[in-house]
Structure 1
Amino acid sequence: MREKSLPVLSAPTRCRLRASPFLPEGRRCYPSSTPLRVPGETVGHVRAAASSTSHPFLERGKPFFGNEQQKTLRSFPQGSRNCYTLPSTIGKFLLRAMFTYGNYDGLNSTMSGSLFRFGLHIGVNFWEAVNLTNWDPSSTIWKEVLTVAPGNNLSVCLINFGTGTPFVSSLELRPLQDVMYPFVNSSVSISYFRRIRFGQATDFITRYPLDPYDRFWEGWSFSYNTYPWMTLNTSSPVRRLPGDSTFQVPEGILQQASTLDTNYSFEINVAVGPNLDPTNLQLLPIFHFAEVVDNNPNRSFNIYSGDEMLFPDFSPSRSQVDSMHQNGRFLHNPAASFLLNKTNNSVLPPLINAFELYSLVRMDNLTTDSNDVKYMKEVKKHYSVARINWNGDPCSPREYSWEGLTCDYSKSNPNPRIVAVNLSTSRLKGGLTISFMNMVSLETLDLSHNNLTGGIPEYEMKSMKVFDLSYNQLDGPIPHSILQRYQAGLLDLRLEGNPICSKVKDTYCSNKKNTTPAMLIAVIVPVVLVSLLVVMGTLWKLYWKGKSGNDKEYAMYEEETPLHIDIRRFTYAELKFITNDFQSIIGKGGFGIVYHGTLENGDEVAVKVLKETSISESTDFLPEVQTLSKVHHKNLVTLQGYCQNKKCLALVYDFMPRGNLKQLLKGGDDYSLTWEQRLHIALDAAQGLEYLHESCTPSIVHRDVKTPNILLDKNLVGVISDFGLSRAFNDAHTHISTAAAGTLGYFDPGYHATFKITTKTDVYSFGIVLLEIITGQSPVVMDPQAVHLPNWVRQKIANGSIHDVVDKKLLDLYDASSLESVVDLAMNCLESAAVNRPTMTKVASRLKVWLPAISGTPRRTDSMDTEIPRQFRLMISRARNEGRSFQSGYTNGISQTSLFSGR
C-alpha cells in the first residue's frame, strides 16, 4: 500500500508520521502553505466539538477542505480490495467516508476527462461508487451509510475498478441509538442520498454539536432564499411524542421551516448522480413537519413520491414533530421527485422543516464464520503473510476471497466456512500455529515448501483430511492423535523432506506411494527423450526438404473455376502473406484455426482455415460461401473473402478487436460490462439472428449460438460469427439435414425427440446466452456439482431472490424491473416445447423496450454513467397555482452554491 501527500493547489509538501484514530498505519502529509479558497465557492464551517475525545477532527472556524482530515489521504494503487477495520460494538452506526483529491499525485486525474471511479464496500456488501470524474480537485465529497455493526468491528473496503486509484481522506464512525431508524437491521443498510434542514441556517452544513449524532444537514436557505420562498421560525419548544426516539431530529432544526408566500405547491427534485442507476433507485424518504405558526393556521397538503400519493390530507401538528415515512418501505422513484401539494380546503401552502432521503443497500452477502476470520487473522499476523488480497473478509464476497483459501458457501452453513488453506511456498518461518487446527471446518492444509521449524503441536483434527507439511525443517515428534488418524486412513499426512523423517521410515516420510511411478519415470523418460530426438531430426530434414516446394505444391491445387460472387477470392499465397505466414493464432475450434491478418490497405481481418480432415468432408463449403456472400447486416460479421484450394479452404472475415462476449463476461476485475452495455449486446445478437431467420431467403439457422460466437467491435457492438455450421432452410423452417450441431449447455434438448433443427433451436441457445449475460456464469455451473445454468437460476430464485442470480461484477448497478423482464424472456426462450418459444423477432422487440433510446444514443465504450454535477443540487421543478406553472428568477431551478455533495 502506498500513501501520498495531499497538496492543495499543488503546494509543496512536508510529511511526518502522525497517529490517526481512524486511519491506522497511515502516513499523513501536510501542505506547507495555508489552503487557498477557490473564488466564488461557498464553504461550510464546522462548529467546535464539546469533547475532542469523541469528535477529534472538528475544529472551530475551519472550512471542510481546510480541516486537518482533508489535508491528507491514503491511496491504494495495489490490490483489488483494501479494507479498514474500525473498532465498534454491536449496534447501529453512522459511517462517513470523505474524499478530497487535491491533485495529490500531480496527474490531475479528476479533470483529465478520463473516468475516475472506484467502489466502496460496507463489510462484504457493495455500498456505493465514488465518482470523481470532472470534479474540481479541491472539492470534497462524502458518503454516509447507516448500518448495523455485527460484532466488535466494522469494515470499510475500497474497491479498485481499474478506473482510478482508490483513496480516502477520512473515515468517521458515529454511534446511533438502537431505537433509531428501526428499518436498519442486519440485512438492510441505508446510504445517504440527501439530508436537508429548511428555514434559516447560518452554516451551509449543520452537524455536531447541534446534532449530537453528527449527521450532516444541508441548508435549504443557502439555495432558495429569495421570493416566493419564506422562512418561518419559533422560539417555542418543538416536542416529540413521549417514547418516540426514531429519528431525534435536533430541536434547533425543527424550530425552523420553509414555505411559499403564495398558494403554490412545490416539488423537490433531487439530482441523481452517476453512482446510482436512476431506473433502479429504491429510495426511502422521511419528511419531518412541525407547525411553527402561533395562530390557528389552516394548512393541509398531500405528499407524493413521483405519481404515488404517500400521505393524503396531512396537517402538521403545532409545536410537535411529525416524522412521516412508510415504515421503512423503499420506493421506486426514478426521478427522485417529491411533491407537497396544497389541498383544496387548505388556506395556507405546504410547510416543511426537514427531509431525509436514503437509498437501499442490500446486505445479502454473509460474512465468513467469525471464528474462521479470527484464526485466519491470527495466521496472517503470526507469519506476517503479505499477500496483496488478504484484506477484508476471507471468503466474502466470492470474487474478492483471499488467495489460497477454499470456502464452503453451501446452505448448510449459516456463514461461509474455510475448508482449505494453501500456503505452500509462502516463505513461512517459525513454529506451527495452533490457529489452523482451531478451524473446525478445515479439511485441507498445505504448508509445504516453507521454513517451518520445531515440532508438530498436539492437534485435535476432527475434519482434516489432507495435512501437507513436506519440505520444511520440522524435527519434533509426531503427535499420537495425528498418527491415529493417519493409521485409520482418515488423514493423508505428508512429511517428506523434513529432519523428522531421518528418524522415521513410514510412508508419510518416504512417500512410498509414489516409488513405483518414480522408478518407471526414471527408466522411461531417457528412452522417450532419445526416441524423440531421432524423430525430430528426421522431421527436421523432411521439413526443409519440402519447404521450398510447399508454396508451389499449394499453387497446383488452386481451383480453376471461381465462384460467381461479389467477394474476393484469396489464393493460398495471399493468405500466407496477409497472416505473416500464419503466425498469430486468435482462435481454435472443431473446424480449424483462426489467424489474425492485415490486408494491403491496412484493414484487419480474421482468417478461418479449415482443418484438412474438414476439407475432405466439406461438400457444403462452396454453397455456404455463396449463401454468406449475400448476407449483409450490421450485427453479422462481414465475410470479406474466401480461399478455394483443394488443400486449404478458408473464410476471411472482419476482425473484431474487443474479442468475444464470453471473454468480456469472464474478464478480470479491471473491466466489467455495465447492465446497459449487456442489454445492447443482447439486442445486437438478437437482431443478427432475426435477420438470418426472417430476412434471408431461404432462412438460415445458425445452429451454434453461444457467447464465444458473439464478437464485439471497438464500440462494443455485437456481431454474430461462425457461420461454418449454419444451414439454409425452406420457408416452412423444416430441416434439410439431420446432422446435429451445437455446444454442450447451449444445444436444444428437444432435438433428441424430433431430430429436427429449426429456428427455435437458435432461440433456445439464445436463452442460455441471455442467462450468461445476466449471471456471468457458464452454461454449466459448478455449485459445487455440475448444474445446467437454467436450473441454477431457478434454484437461486426459489431459495432466495432474483437478485441472487445477478453477476456480482454489476455491483447492484442495474435496473430491477428490466432484470425481471430479461430473466422472464430468457426462460421463455428455454421452454421445452419449441412451439412455446418466441421468435427472434419477438425477442428483439422485447429487448428494444428496455432500451428505448438505443437508436438515438451513441454507444458508449466504457462503463461510466452520466457525469455527476460537482455542486450540491436541489431544484424546484415546478410551482403550481390552479394548474398554471410558476417561473421566477430560477436558472432551471438548480442551485450551485456548495462545494460538497454526498452523492
Structure 2
Amino acid sequence: MPLACNALQKSKSAMAIISSASTKLTWILAPLLVLATATIRVHGQPPSTSGFISLDCGNRNTTPYTDSSIRGIQHQSDVGFVEGGLTHQIAAVYMAGAPYESQKTLRSFPNGSRNCYTLPSTPGKKLVRALFTYGDYDGLNRTMDGSPFLFGLHIGANFWEAVNLTSWDPSSTIWKEVLTVAPGGSVSVCLINFGTGTPFVSALELRPLQDSMYPFVNSSVSISYFRRIRFGQATDFITRYPLDPYDRFWEGWSFSYNTYPWMTLNTSSPVRRLPGDNTFQVPEGILQQASTLDTNYSFFEINVAVGPNLDAKNLQLLPIFHFAEINISNQNRRFDIYSDNDLLFPDFSPSRFQADSMHENGQFLHNPTATFLLNKTRSSRLPPLINAFEVYSLVRMDNLTTDADDVNYMKEVKKHYNLARINWNGDPCSPREYSWEGLTCDYSKRNQNPRIVAVDLSTSGLKGGLVISFMNMASLENLDLSHNNLTGAIPDYQIKSLKVLDLSYNQLDGPIPDSILQRSQAGLLDLRLEGNPICSKVKDTYCSNKKKKTSTVLIAVIVPVVLVSLLVVMGILWKLYWKGKSGDDEDYAMYEEETPLHIDIRRFTYAELKLITNNFQSIIGKGGFGIVYHGTLENGDEVAVKVLMETSIAESTDFLPEVQ
C-alpha cells in the first residue's frame, strides 16, 4: 500500500519493483511517490565538512546556524552569493512540516531571464544540489492551479534540468543534484525564467568530491541525479551526512517495499573495497544491508519511471549497481543484469563481503522505460541480491565558459563602478543568448573559451577614475566609455590589442600617456577625447569630431541588393533609350518611383570588420583610394570592404561620392 505521510519528494521519477516466482505469480508494489525524512544517528566522530557550502536561500539572518535535523552541517544565508531576488517565507500552515530548517524560506526571481548564484570553490569535482519547497509562499496556489509551473536550471553555462512543479503538493520538497567539474575558483548555478512561473530556490548546497570518484565526469560531461537508492533495512528514508561523508542523498527502498516476498539481509562484518578502488565510495553502513527475494522467486525489476521533467525519447541514463554478498551461507548466487531488454552483465556473482560496483564504463544507455532487471541464472541456487543503486542522466557541457581572466576583470569593473545591470549575471559570454549587455564576444576559435573583444559602457553613469582592469583584457579591441562622468588622468595603459578607445564626453583632465599617444600617432589606435577638459591642453588632433589620423580607415559596405538595383536601373535606361528612339511619349518617371535605388548604410567597428573580412585576408582589388577586401556578413551576404589610406578624410573628397 502507498505511504500516507507528508514528506520529501524527488520530482524526477517514481520507482516500482516487480518480482516473479516459479509459479508465475507476479507481485507489483505501489510506485514510490511519497517519501519521508528522519534524523540520522551515527555514533563516533563525524567526517570533515571542509569545503561544504550550505545556503539557506531567502534567510535574512546572516548568522550561521546548525540544523538539528542534519548533525554537523552549518547553514548560512545566501546574502552575498546572488544579486537581486525577493525573500519569502512559506505559508504558516506548512512550517511545521518542512523537512529542514532551510526549507522554511526561499528567494524568488520575478525579474530577468537569468539569475545566478556564485558559489566559491576550488577546481575539481563537485556535487551541487538545489532544493525547492514552494509552500504557497505567494498565496497564489501556483502548483495546484492547473497551469504549467516550471523553470530551468543551468550549471555554469550549460542547461542542467527543468524544475517542474506543475500539480505538485505545495508542501512537497524536491531536489536536483548534478555532479560536475568546477573549472576554477567558483561554480555558478543559474535559474532560468521560461515564462511559466517565477523561478525560486529554497537551498543550495555544494559538496567536494575526490577527483578519483565518478571517472566519467569531466569538463565536457556532467551527470544529473536521477535516482540513488539504498536497499535493505534503513531507519531513515533519506540517508546522508554523516553516514555518507560526501552528503549524497540515498533514498530508503524499504520504506515502500518491505513485505513478502522481499527479504532483508544485514551484517555487522566489515564490507571492504578493493585496495585503490575509490570510484564510488559507497558508505560501508549501506553495503552492510541488502535486499533479496524468497528462494522461490527468480527475478525482480527496478523501475525508476521518467517523471514530467525529462524527455523519455532522448533520455540517456547511466546506471551503477552496487553489490556485496553478505549472506553467511556459501550457497551459489548468480544472475544476469538487464537494462530494459539489453543484457548488460551476464552471469554475475557478487563477492563475499567485498564491494562490487558494476557500470558500463561511463556509457550512457537509451532506456526510455527506465527499467532494470536482475534475473537468476539456471545454475544459481539463490535469487538476485542488491545493496545499492545509482542512476544518472547525461548533462552535456558543450558551452565553454568565458576566459577566466576576462571574467575576473569584468567582475572587477562591475564592482568598481557598482554596476547593477539586470542581465550581468552568470557567465559574461556563454551561452550566447544570455551574454551580458554591452559586450561583444569572440566565439570563432573552436574548443577555446570565448574572449571579450568589445565593451560598450557609454552612457552608463560611470564615475571616478579609469579602472586598470579594462586594459588587462588581452583580447579587448574596442572600448567605449563615452558620455559618462569619468575624472582624473588617463592611466599609462599597455594596450597592445586595443584599436578603438572612446573616452569622449567625460571629465578627464590629465595628460595623455606616452604609450597611448605613440599608438595613436602610429595609426594603431583610434583615440577619441572630444568633450573632455583635457582637450584644452592638447592639440585638436584627438579632440575634434572630425577625426584626423595618419591612417584613416573608411569603410564602404556594398551589399548585393545594390548590384541588383543597378541592373534594374540600367534596364530602365536601356528601355528609355530605345523607346525615345521610336518617339514614344510615355512618362518614364514612374519607373524611377517604382524602382528606387536602395543603399544599405551601416556602421561597423574595426573588430566587426576583422570578422567580416577574416582578418583582411582576401584582396579582390586595388584602386586609387586603397585596397578592396572580400567579406561576408553574419547573414551570409557577400560584401566588398574598401580601406581608404589617406592622411585625412577631408582630403579625399572624391571617395564618399564614389562609395555612394
TM-score when normalising by structure 1: 0.52
Aligned to 2:115: 82
The answer as to 2:374 corresponding to 1:340 is: yes
Q: Which residue of 1 aligns with 2:40?
A: 47
**Following superposition of structure 1 onto structure 2, how do residues 643-658 of structure 1 map, counting pairs within 5 Å?**
none
| Aligned match of 1:798 | none
Question: Identity of counterpart residues, as a percentage?
Answer: 79
Q: 2:161 aligns with which of 123, 128, 146?
A: 128
> How far does residue 43 in structure 1 lie from its aligned partner after superposition?
2.9
Measured after TM superposition, the shift of residue 128 of structure 1 is 0.6
How has the CA–CA distance of structure 1 residues 785 and 481 changed in structure 2, closer, same or farther, with 3 Å as cutoff?
farther
Output the CA distance in 2 between the equivalents of 1:182 and 1:211.
19
Name the residue aligned to 2:87: none
1:258 corresponds to which residue? 291
Q: How far does residue 222 in structure 1 lie from its aligned partner after superposition?
A: 0.7
| Equivalent residue letter for 1:45 | A
Q: CA deviation at 1:348?
A: 1.2
Q: 1:396-795 to 2 correspondence within 5 Å?
A: 396-411=430-445, 414-513=448-547, 786=636
Matches within 5 A, 1:134-283: 134-261=167-294, 262-283=296-317
* 1:398 to partner: Cα distance: 0.6
Aligned residues of 1:52 and 1:58 also touching (Cα < 8 A): no
Match of 1:319 among 350, 353, 358: 353
In the TM superposition, what whole-angstrom CA distance separates every residue of 1:499-555 from its partner, at most 9, and x where no partner exists?
Answer: 1112223232022349xxxxxxxxxxxxxxxxxxxxxxxxxxxxxxxxxxxxxxxxx
1:860 matched residue in structure 2: none
2-side partners of 1:60 and 1:113: how far apart? 34
Label 1:304 to 1:206 Cα distance change in 2 as closer, same or farther (>3 A): same
Indicate the residue corresponding to 1:73 in structure 2.
Answer: 106
Rounded to whole Å, the distance in 1 between the matches of 2:368 and 2:541 is 68
CA distance in 2, matches of 1:361, 1:234: 37
- For the 8 Å contact 1:45–1:64, the answer to whether it is kept is no
* CA distance in structure 1 between the partners assigned to 2:122 and 2:351 by the alignment: 37
Q: Is the 8 A contact 1:298 1:348 kept in 2?
A: yes
Distance in 2, matches of 1:64 and 1:202, equals 19
**Residue type of the alignment partner of 2:352:** R
Equivalent position amino acid for 2:281 in 1? Q
Deviation at 1:118, TM superposition (A): 0.7
What are the superposed Cα offsets for residues 132-184 of structure 1, whole Å, 9 maximum, x if unpaired?
A: 11111111000001111111111111111111111111111111111111111
Contact persistence 2:70–2:241 (CA under 8 A): no
Report Cα offsets for 1:607-650 as digits up to 9, x if no partner.
Answer: xxxxxxxxxxxxxxxxxxxxxxxxxxxxxxxxxxxxxxxxxxxx
2:414 maps to 380
| Counterpart check, 1:331 vs 2:340 | no
Q: Is the 8 A contact 1:46 1:207 kept in 2?
A: no
Answer whether contact 1:459 1:482 (CA < 8 A) is retained.
yes
Provide the residue aligned with 1:96 in structure 2. Answer: 129
Deviations 1:641-687 (A, max 9, x none): xxxxxxxxxxxxxxxxxxxxxxxxxxxxxxxxxxxxxxxxxxxxxxx
Seen in structure 2, the aligned counterparts of structure 1 residues 187 and 220 have a Cα distance that, compared at 3 Å, is same
Letter in 1 for 2:370: A
Amino acid at match of 1:253: I
Distance 1:317 1:368, change over 3 A: same
CA distance in 2, matches of 1:332, 1:189: 17
Match of 1:831 in 2: none
> Which amino acid is 2:300 matched to?
F
The one-letter amino acid of 1:496's match is E
Gaps of 5+ in 2: 1-5, 7-32, 55-64, 72-95, 549-630, 639-660
Deviation per CA, 1:539-596: give whole Å up to 9, x if none.
xxxxxxxxxxxxxxxxxxxxxxxxxxxxxxxxxxxxxxxxxxxxxxxxxxxxxxxxxx
Q: How much has 1:465 moved relative to structure 2?
A: 1.1
Partner in structure 1 of residue 623 of structure 2: none
The 1:201–1:412 alpha-carbon spacing in structure 2 relative to 1, beyond 3 Å, is closer
CA shift, 1:61, in A, is 7.8
The 8 Å contact of residues 372 and 439 in structure 1, kept in 2 or not, is answered as: yes
Assess, with a 3 A threshold, how the Cα gap between structure 1 residues 315 and 787 changes in structure 2: closer, same or farther. farther
Aligned to 1:299: 333
TM-aligned CA deviation for residue 412 of structure 1: 6.0
Indicate the residue corresponding to 2:390 in structure 1. Answer: 356
Is the alpha carbon distance of 1:69 and 1:172 closer, same or farther for their aligned partners in structure 2, counting shifts above 3 Å? Answer: same
Q: Which residue of 1 aligns with 2:598?
A: none
What is the CA distance between 1:299 and its match in structure 2? 1.1
What CA distance in whole angstroms lies between the structure 2 residues aligned with 1:286 and 1:270?
A: 13
The residue aligned with 1:527 is: none
- Measured in 1, the distance between the counterparts of 2:195 and 2:136 equals 18
Structure 1 gap ranges (5+): 1-7, 9-39, 515-780, 789-903
Mark the CA change 1:285 to 1:166 in structure 2 (over 3 Å): closer, same or farther: same
The match for 1:13 is: none
C-alpha contact 1:46 1:58 (8 A) present in aligned 2:
no
Moved more, 476-485 or 419-428: 476-485
**Aligned residue identity for 1:219:** G
1:391 corresponds to 2:425: yes
CA contact (8 A) 2:67 2:101 kept: no
Counterpart CA distance in 1 for 2:304 and 2:633 is 42
CA deviation after TM superposition for structure 1 residue 459, in Å: 0.9
- CA distance in structure 1 between the partners assigned to 2:409 and 2:66 by the alignment: 34
Contact in 2 for aligned 1:74/1:168 (Cα 8 Å): yes
2-side partners of 1:41 and 1:276: how far apart? 20
Q: Which one-letter code corresponds to 1:459 in the other structure? A: Y
Q: How far does residue 48 in structure 1 lie from its aligned partner after superposition?
A: 6.4
Instruction: State the match for 1:4 in structure 2.
Output: none
Letter aligned with residue 59 of structure 1: S
Tell me, yes or no, if the aligned pair for 2:37 and 2:99 is still in contact at 8 Å.
Answer: no
Paired with 1:321 and 1:90, the residues of 2 have a C-alpha distance of 29
Instruction: Provide the secondary structure at the position in 2 that maps to 1:221.
Output: helix
- CA apart distance, 1:394: 0.3
Deviation at 1:782, TM superposition (A): 7.6
Write the distance in 2 (CA, Å) between the matches of 1:147 and 1:448. Answer: 41
TM-score, length basis structure 2: 0.71
Alpha-carbon spacing, 1:344–1:782, altered in 2? closer, same or farther (3 Å):
farther
Question: In structure 2, how many angstroms separate the alpha carbons of the residues matched to 1:280 and 1:208?
Answer: 33
Note the 1:844-863 alignment, pairs <5 A: none
Partner SS for 2:449? coil
The 1:492/1:94 distance shift into structure 2, 3 A limit, reads same
> Is contact 2:69-2:100 (8 Å) kept?
no
- For the aligned residue pairs, the C-alpha RMSD in angstroms reads 2.2
Could you tell me how far 1:413 is from its partner in structure 2?
7.1
Amino acid at match of 1:221: S
- How far 1:439 moved relative to its partner? 0.5
Query: Counterparts of 1:202 and 1:302 in 2: how far apart (Å)?
Result: 30
Cα separation, partners in 2 of 1:343 and 1:284, compared to 1, 3 Å = same
3-state SS, counterpart of residue 265 of structure 1: strand
2:319 matched residue in structure 1: 285
Q: Deviations over 1:39-67 (max 9, x none)?
A: x9753023369478857654248998242
**What one-letter code is carried by the residue in structure 2 that aligns with 1:786?**
G
1:196/1:273 Cα in 2 relative to 1: closer, same or farther (>3 Å)? same
Letter in 2 for 1:393: D
Cα deviation per residue 1:309-331 (whole Å; 9 max; x = unaligned)?
A: 00000111111111001111111
1:242 shift after superposition? 1.1
Give how far 1:786 is off.
Answer: 2.6
Q: 1:185 to 1:413 in 2, by over 3 A?
A: closer
Q: Aligned pair 1:106/2:139, yes or no?
A: yes
User: How many residues are aligned here?
Assistant: 484
Shift of 1:228: 1.3
- For the 8 Å contact 1:473–1:499, the answer to whether it is kept is yes
